[in-house]
Amino acid sequence: MSVREILEYPDPRLREVAKPVQRVDAEIRALVDDMAETMYDAPGVGLAAPQIGVGLRVFVIDIAAEDEPSDLKVFINPEIVTTEGNQTWNEGCLSFPGVSEEIKRAERVTVRALGRDGKRFELEADGLLAVAIQHENDHLNGVLMIDKLSALKKRMMGRKLAKRKSSPSAEA
């Protein structure tokens, strides 16, 4: 297992649509392990393969609080089959370090995917888990959280990112 570099906006690889995984084998399981280690190291609650420059339909999520045991969920070739309701959540993203924005998402989702073991499962989720599933699934389609913002908020986020990159502490 190893920590991988997380791509940051505006890296063009973040806009590429990920390809389906053909079979869950040792290579895919190693990718999942690296993704989990990278996510925990960042730290974050989710990470999609395109965020580390791998164009495959894989993401990992762990929304457990710091005082709770890890609850890693692995999604390979995920498909959101139903959405219900609406919620607004203050989201961050490892590819947009240091910024967060209010994003509207479905309140509940049902997702089908393969797990790390290659077995198909279906999961109903709400709250933060539903948000994280939608956010990471967007990454697989080349959609970023900035795409969900108004023109004004996009400009403000762009300024925040530019200011962060030009500050001396960003070099550390």
CATH of the domain at 109: 3.90.45.10
Range of the domain at 19: 12-167
Whether residue 5 lies inside any domain: the answer is no
> How many domains does one find in the chain?
1
| Reported pTM | 0.93
Element (H, E) at 138: helix 127-140
User: Which pLDDT tens digits describe the chain residue by residue (172 residues)?
Assistant: 899 999 999 999 999 999 999 999 999 999 999 999 999 999 999 999 999 999 999 999 999 998 999 999 999 999 999 999 999 999 999 999 988 999 999 999 999 999 999 999 999 999 999 999 999 999 999 999 999 998 888 888 888 887 777 776 544 4
Which residues are registered as beta bridge partners of 79?
112
Catalytic positions, please? 136
Structure tokens at 130: 């539903």
Whether residue 125 lies inside any domain: the answer is yes
Pairing between strand 73-84 and 100-105?
unpaired
